[in-house]
Structure 1
């Protein structure tokens, strides 16, 4: 995907049933982000609730090492893993490989392609997708068992970091899946990769079953 470029798309805040604390440190842009709590659908407040009415989360220091913090909150960092001195994938696997354990960190990047327009990829340049049978308000995944084998959820170890490129940190959230793992959401929508995408830039999951679509930087369905 050498022709892809980072998107600068921004949008209004989506209230995704999570506790938010903005972290815009004085050290510079690489420390700017937020802390989010992993939420259960049953614990989610009404969709119309304002974040101003929700209790503040405890604020651990913004992680720069890629290692999990000591609590279950996730750090959303408004810069890439490389900009924070990290190499590798954080443990994110490729294609049909089974994600045996949640990655220590994940990265979401907005790119453009002629077929999909602006959409998200992970650190391995795998296209990320959303499922029409999920819900965004409240955020909830309805893809489990065999579905989750075909469409592996984008999971992360609790206390890990979510790094971003061209994505508004306010759009990022996390839910607890039925198996107890934390899954990343964008605009309230749980995000997945497709086991049928084996090469960087593959988009074989687009339109599958009329319910799976590449996800954009605000959680929308991507289209050229």
Structure 2
């Protein structure tokens, strides 16, 4: 039994690494953080903002300043949700290269929204490819995260490389 659990854990970790392996800012994102209806994967990717947290498809994730640490509900409601959809999962999220504390909260429609260090995670609808960070600093309240789960407040370099 112990050997089966160890094997299952290894398979899960390999899946997480495969989902995050090879992400670069030039690859196209084709899925959300929940692969095939399973658990979301959080990992890191190099961007113009430095190394930031992304999902298993390389899509950048963000936090919202109006969400307090440890919140049990998202402050992004109504029209906000269409521009900033929640990163959701149907199982325990997996991580690779992310050292912050990962958890979940319930969304208004009953889904599980992924959290990092007690803050809900979101996508930016205008990020059109993996590694895109167009949501960084929007209205001074939306931010990417570093591997430890701390918000990054820098802006991309003037080269426009994002």
Q: Note whether the superposition's TM-score is higher than 0.5.
A: yes
Query: Does 148-157 or 170-179 show the bigger shift?
Result: 170-179
Q: Which runs of 5+ in 1 are unaligned?
A: 1-24, 33-63, 65-76, 86-90
Separation in 2 of the partners of 1:80 and 1:143? 33
Say which SS state the counterpart of residue 80 (structure 2) adopts: helix
Determine which structure has more spread, i.e. the larger CA radius of gyration: 1
**What TM-score do you get using the length of structure 1 for normalisation?**
0.54
Alignment match of 1:199 (pick from 129, 138, 157)? 129
Asked if the contact 1:116–1:223 (Cα under 8 Å) also holds between the matched residues in 2, the reply is no
Residue 51 of structure 2 is aligned with which of 93, 99, 118?
118
Name 2:112's counterpart in structure 1.
Answer: 182
In the other structure, the counterpart of 1:135 is 68
Q: CA deviation at 1:83?
A: 5.0
Query: 1:1-224 alignment to 2 at 5 Å?
Result: 27=6, 31=9, 79-81=13-15, 83=17, 92-93=31-32, 103-113=37-47, 115-157=48-90, 160-168=91-99, 171-223=101-153
The 1:26/1:178 distance shift into structure 2, 3 A limit, reads closer
**8 Å contact kept, 1:106–1:163:** yes
Q: CA deviation at 1:205?
A: 0.3
Q: Deviations over 1:122-155 (max 9, x none)?
A: 1221111000001113343100221111011001
> What residue ranges of structure 2 are gaps of 5+ in the alignment?
20-29, 155-162
What number of residue pairs does the alignment pair up?
A: 140
Secondary structure of the structure 2 residue equivalent to 1:136: coil
Q: Give the superposition deviation at 1:84.
A: 7.8
More helix by proportion, 1 or 2? 2
The TM-score with structure 2 as length reference comes to 0.72
Contact 2:16 2:96 in 1 (8 A): no
